[in-house]
Structure 1
């Protein structure tokens, strides 16, 4: 790698890192607000909230990396233009390809990272997050019990706890079970603990009594006990079999849907389209960079500001991304998967041709089009 390559790399790497960090942080903070309910509604600690928040980052990187790369390339080239360094390079006989080479090397690395995130890291982290959230919401203690509150744990079942302690321990427990109108019971316990058994969760009560009301006489019977066990497996919110969404599936599961499952049969074409979209995601990094390169070092050299070119390049990548989403939606409905590849490949091909093709060839093509 020559000194010129290293210099251009340095001009691009610093803004790339800053744009990537700042943009990811901003989007990440907005996404983490959706997980606040885990703390508020289910009584989870800050550590669980942070773990769930970190698991969101790979999905953000898959979208942000190509845009951050475009911003870094445009910023670096615009700075070189402002300092007249691009003019000096052209005067010294440095070709456009020579200037673009180190930037395309960064693009290749970014494309590989994007591909890895899309096909492995993102579905892996989403699956971990889905199982964590399902386990939290299925947990009897976190989803049902609150200190100092009467909670309707199930239809005909009310639970009150004075204090919840670590390790599923409860102090001052009251359970009013009126699911069977002919056999209503109220349980009192000084202490209780939740245990997992082979047959399901069991609530072990310590030092309390059971009050029942005779159906015909209305007499209250009180049974004292030191130890009592209540099977609460029917009260627990089971997670059941988790349905994997598109973002939670690996590439092979997207391209080869399991037709034995109803969801896969109903959404087979959409799943396949999502798989092809994962494959094409790295191509957008190259498309954005080629558009940025053409905007800054393509066309005729200008001593004026390149602001208009930068704005047009930004609009071009925005429209390209929109076209990609539309193509994916159309392919998911009609099965024309080639459309997913058409937008980024067309952008890469046309930008690369305009940027690197010899001037006579570009003029000839323009005359032919006219």
Structure 2
């Protein structure tokens, strides 16, 4: 029977790879559209867009792997059943517990992948993504040096440059600042240059005019100037010291310790840090239990010419309810540090339900089976 174990586990891994690629592609395209709009509109290149999407991929894969494991198991077992391969295996004396062995091996592989992603790759990619984003936001010069286009280097800021000389001088500059809700200021200048002063970027404009509109009373104040320095520190994301790190960037041991240093770096309390660390373990357990849950549901009932759609529906509904419960327990753990253990409840329930269904299958197909065979309606 070891040959059948390798065959079934291999089939599940093939289907798992296929569905993972499909789901990652769908998820990635959905996120890439908004990312493309924000980066390209800000004057970034296509290379930068590809770099950001590559750094976001580990987080996307981490989100879809448990779903892919569930879908692969449902599809694989259903296909083996429709091709009568499962019937042949069962007639040779293969018990539900023996069928569960390759499924559990497949679940362990998926759980290992989720663990590597959750504990290593996702934190590293999030850190690289955040640092690259901060670097890009500070690179104001690159976002200004694009002539003939209206650019939006920051929220509420619009910039237009008619021409850029080989020396980097900006000719025919228009800049509108709408970040202050009480007033809007528009700057026009014959020429301007970008300079770095004390670690901050400043736009020095020459021979221009500033028009400030007070939104409340609609009054307009116009000022002409020979030279004027516009501070871009706030627009560039600031150079105001250490960046606040997201808890999802932190290594798991630091999250579980939740010491004063980690709290200072992330500006999060103990409950949020420890819940994030424990969620990484619970996600792996949840991914381990989903294939077994799917097998347990698919083995309920006897043969039916209508297929296994009822069992598949039951497995999908159960997985959705368990995931909803996981969201509830994660929220509770983030609010109260003493409830960190609750994040493991959905994963343990998934494993327990899977084992219970497999045990129920050893007692014969009495729960769900077609009518007309003497069973009560």
Instruction: Provide the residue aligned with 1:352 in structure 2.
Output: 355
d(CA) in 2 for partners of 1:198 and 1:99? Answer: 68
8 Å contact from structure 2 (residues 247, 255) kept in 1: yes
Q: Tell me the C-alpha RMSD between the 2 structures.
A: 4.0
Deviation at 1:69, TM superposition (A): 0.8
Instruction: Provide the residue aligned with 2:168 in structure 1.
Output: 169
User: 2:262 aligned with 1:257, yes or no?
Assistant: no
Instruction: Provide the residue aligned with 1:340 in structure 2.
Output: 343
8 Å contact from structure 1 (residues 153, 235) kept in 2: no
- Which of residues 273, 291, 294 is equivalent to 1:292? 294
8 Å contact from structure 1 (residues 200, 231) kept in 2: no
* Deviation by residue 1:288-346 (Cα, 9 ceiling, x = unmatched): 1111010122x443344211010000000111111111011112223312211122112
Deviation at 1:47, TM superposition (A): 0.7
Structure 1: 5+ residue stretches without partners: 177-185, 213-219, 224-229, 364-370
d(CA) in 1 for partners of 2:131 and 2:161? Answer: 28
d(CA) in 2 for partners of 1:90 and 1:354? Answer: 17
Aligned-partner SS, 1:89: helix
Q: Which has the larger radius of gyration?
A: 1
d(CA) in 2 for partners of 1:49 and 1:247? Answer: 22
Instruction: Provide the residue aligned with 2:183 in structure 1.
Output: none
Deviation at 1:235, TM superposition (A): 7.8
User: 2:25 aligned with 1:22, yes or no?
Assistant: no
Instruction: Provide the residue aligned with 1:72 in structure 2.
Output: 72
8 Å contact from structure 2 (residues 27, 60) kept in 1: yes
After TM superposition, the score normalised by the length of structure 1 is 0.75
8 Å contact from structure 1 (residues 161, 170) kept in 2: no
Structure 2: 5+ residue stretches without partners: 176-187, 210-223, 367-377
* Aligned pairs (5 A) from 1:12-51: 12-51=12-51
d(CA) in 1 for partners of 2:292 and 2:149? Answer: 61
Instruction: Provide the residue aligned with 1:308 in structure 2.
Output: 310
* Deviation by residue 1:272-291 (Cα, 9 ceiling, x = unmatched): 11111111111111221111
Q: 1:276 to 1:76 in 2, by over 3 A?
A: same
d(CA) in 1 for partners of 2:287 and 2:151? Answer: 52
* Aligned pairs (5 A) from 1:131-210: 131-144=131-144, 146-148=146-148, 161-164=161-164, 169-170=168-169, 172=171
* Aligned pairs (5 A) from 1:316-331: 316-331=318-333
Deviation at 1:86, TM superposition (A): 1.3
Instruction: Provide the residue aligned with 1:52 in structure 2.
Output: 52
Deviation at 1:20, TM superposition (A): 0.6
Length, aligned pairs only: 332
Deviation at 1:245, TM superposition (A): 2.0
8 Å contact from structure 1 (residues 327, 339) kept in 2: yes
Aligned-partner SS, 1:163: strand
Instruction: Provide the residue aligned with 2:269 in structure 1.
Output: 267
8 Å contact from structure 1 (residues 112, 282) kept in 2: yes
